[in-house]
A = this chain, B = another copy of it.
Amino acid sequence: MNDITSLGESGVNRSRAEELMTANGLEAIVATTPENVHYVLGSSLRATNWTMQIYALLPRDPSLRPCLIIPTNRLGVIAQMGITSADLYVYSDFFVEGSVEGKPSTPDIDLFYSLLQSVKTYAGPVEALEAAAADLGLKGQPIGVDEMRITPDLLSRFAEGLPGGQALPAYKLFRQIRQIKTPFELERLRRSAALNESIEQQLIDLIAAGVHERELAEHYRLTVMKGGGTPAMTAVGAGPRSALPLIENYFRTIERGDQVRFDLCMQLDGYWGDTGRTAVLGEPTPWMTRHFEAVLSGWKEALDLIRPGVKASDVFQAAVARVQKEGIPHYRRQHVGHAIGLELYDDITLAPGDHRTLETGMVLCVEVPYYELGAGGFQIEDTVVVTADGFEFLTHMERKLFVK
């Protein structure tokens, strides 16, 4: 049961999880959202609809293995992925016949077959979750539940067996644990950032008169897919459309003199990449240069402050003040960056209302965009990990107004 070495296959920060569960008086927490389940497991599982329930139980005690609660039909995927980081508790009927004995097979089929033979099937997800908790010796102990992706009726039923009939909502607690990235997670965030920015550089290289925004967006999405990732928001805006913050549709053919703003989001192995740059086809106007320099100054100001112990809100205030001073006196912004990880917006935002302090191991996207309708938009966004003496870049593209 307690094969500690295989715990390394997921990115969970067990010591931080233990500390925060202890502080909240909990013996375990149950992940229900795909991101938190991925966190416990180290791999993504798809659910086919909202009623399909997939949970991962993470015990406070780091010597106990996590448990995964899945419908029986997911066992084959578990076998293909070679997931061994959790004990399995399955529910609902699913029929697969045959035997691998003496037959042509592959290791994933052998594992699938042995799982089908060995797992006990429970009536439903709550029964499976209760069995997992009981096997860990946690029956009647306080357990928190990520409240975002469990159906309310099942949450009520599970809570009945908990002290006081209550399950502490644990979505925010999972996010708090996930604030400090583990080496497993940093490696994935590095790979995701590298794929994302390599394609962003390709888009800049492709900028030319007559190229349509849509061609660039499609190149991005297909190249992300070819690289094994999943593309998401693909902001490619040329000329006046560079002033649109989120971009999901593409209308403009690039012309000489256009500025082009990129803000590109994708996932690789569950971890997000989010990078932004601005380019101009032809000579930038003085207006473009002044505004880009102002935004770049604010971004540098933010980075100058980033180190353990600094308040997120102080980074925000300093960056905005710097942009205002350097050329955009009316500059306003709701944040100048956000944590990134298994969610595009992980916990901690460089925003006026977030007074928490930065810590070593946090990964942040630092961005100081400016959007002016009827004129244009500017973006610079990079990803950094907070280190003991400041930060280290996960992105490495040139940080300038690209001139084509």
Check if A139 is an interface residue, CB within 8 A of chain B. Answer: no
The 8 Å CB contact of A245, one of B76, B104, B233, is B76
Contacts of A374 in B (CB 8 A): 98-105, 109, 113
If A171-B50, A245-B94 touch, whether A148 touches B151 (CB-CB below 8 Å) is yes
What is the minimal beta-carbon distance from A36 to any residue of chain B, in angstroms? 9
Task: Encode contact with B along A166-183: 1 for CB under 8 Å, 0 otherwise.
Answer: 000101000000000000
Contacts of A243 in B (CB 8 A): 96, 98, 109
What is the minimal beta-carbon distance from A239 to any residue of chain B, in angstroms? 7
Check if A285 is an interface residue, CB within 8 A of chain B. Answer: no
Contacts of A232 in B (CB 8 A): 46
Cα distance A375–B109 in the bound complex, in angstroms: 11
Check if A112 is an interface residue, CB within 8 A of chain B. Answer: yes
Binds B, one of A15-23, A298-306, A327-335, A384-392: A327-335
The 8 Å CB contact of A371, one of B97, B101, B149, is B97
Check if A209 is an interface residue, CB within 8 A of chain B. Answer: no
Binds B, one of A121-129, A246-254, A275-283, A393-401: A246-254
CB contact list, A186-233 vs B, under 8 A: 218, 221-222, 225-226, 232-233
Most chain-B Cβ atoms within 10 A of its Cβ — which of A100, A108, A374?
A374
Check if A310 is an interface residue, CB within 8 A of chain B. Answer: no
What is the minimal beta-carbon distance from A237 to any residue of chain B, in angstroms? 10
| Contact, CB under 8 Å: B245 / A80 | no
What is the minimal beta-carbon distance from A342 to any residue of chain B, in angstroms? 10
| Contact, CB under 8 Å: A106 / B252 | yes
Cα distance A113–B244 in the bound complex, in angstroms: 10
| Contact, CB under 8 Å: A50 / B74 | no
Cα distance A397–B116 in the bound complex, in angstroms: 34
| Contact, CB under 8 Å: B375 / A103 | yes
Check if A152 is an interface residue, CB within 8 A of chain B. Answer: yes
| Contact, CB under 8 Å: A104 / B147 | no
What is the minimal beta-carbon distance from A59 to any residue of chain B, in angstroms? 23
Cα distance A142–B222 in the bound complex, in angstroms: 47
Cα distance A103–B344 in the bound complex, in angstroms: 34
Closest to A352 in B: B93
What is the minimal beta-carbon distance from A113 to any residue of chain B, in angstroms? 5
Check if A311 is an interface residue, CB within 8 A of chain B. Answer: no
Check if A119 is an interface residue, CB within 8 A of chain B. Answer: no
Cα distance A164–B226 in the bound complex, in angstroms: 54
| Contact, CB under 8 Å: B334 / A95 | yes
| Contact, CB under 8 Å: B246 / A343 | no
Contacts of A251 in B (CB 8 A): 106, 108
Check if A73 is an interface residue, CB within 8 A of chain B. Answer: yes
| Contact, CB under 8 Å: B151 / A246 | no
Contacts of A333 in B (CB 8 A): 95
| Contact, CB under 8 Å: B233 / A105 | no
The 8 Å CB contact of A152, one of B35, B147, B334, is B147
The 8 Å CB contact of A248, one of B77, B171, B225, is B77
Most chain-B Cβ atoms within 10 A of its Cβ — which of A48, A74, A153, A345?
A48
| Contact, CB under 8 Å: A241 / B375 | no
What is the minimal beta-carbon distance from A166 to any residue of chain B, in angstroms? 12
What is the minimal beta-carbon distance from A150 to any residue of chain B, in angstroms? 10
Cα distance A345–B251 in the bound complex, in angstroms: 34
A to B CB contacts below 8 Å, 26 in the list: A46-B248, A48-B345, A50-B343, A73-B246, A76-B245, A77-B246, A81-B249, A92-B334, A95-B332, A95-B371, A96-B245, A96-B372, A98-B372, A99-B374, A102-B374, A103-B373, A105-B374, A106-B240, A108-B241, A109-B240, A109-B373, A116-B373, A153-B169, A221-B225, A222-B225, A222-B226
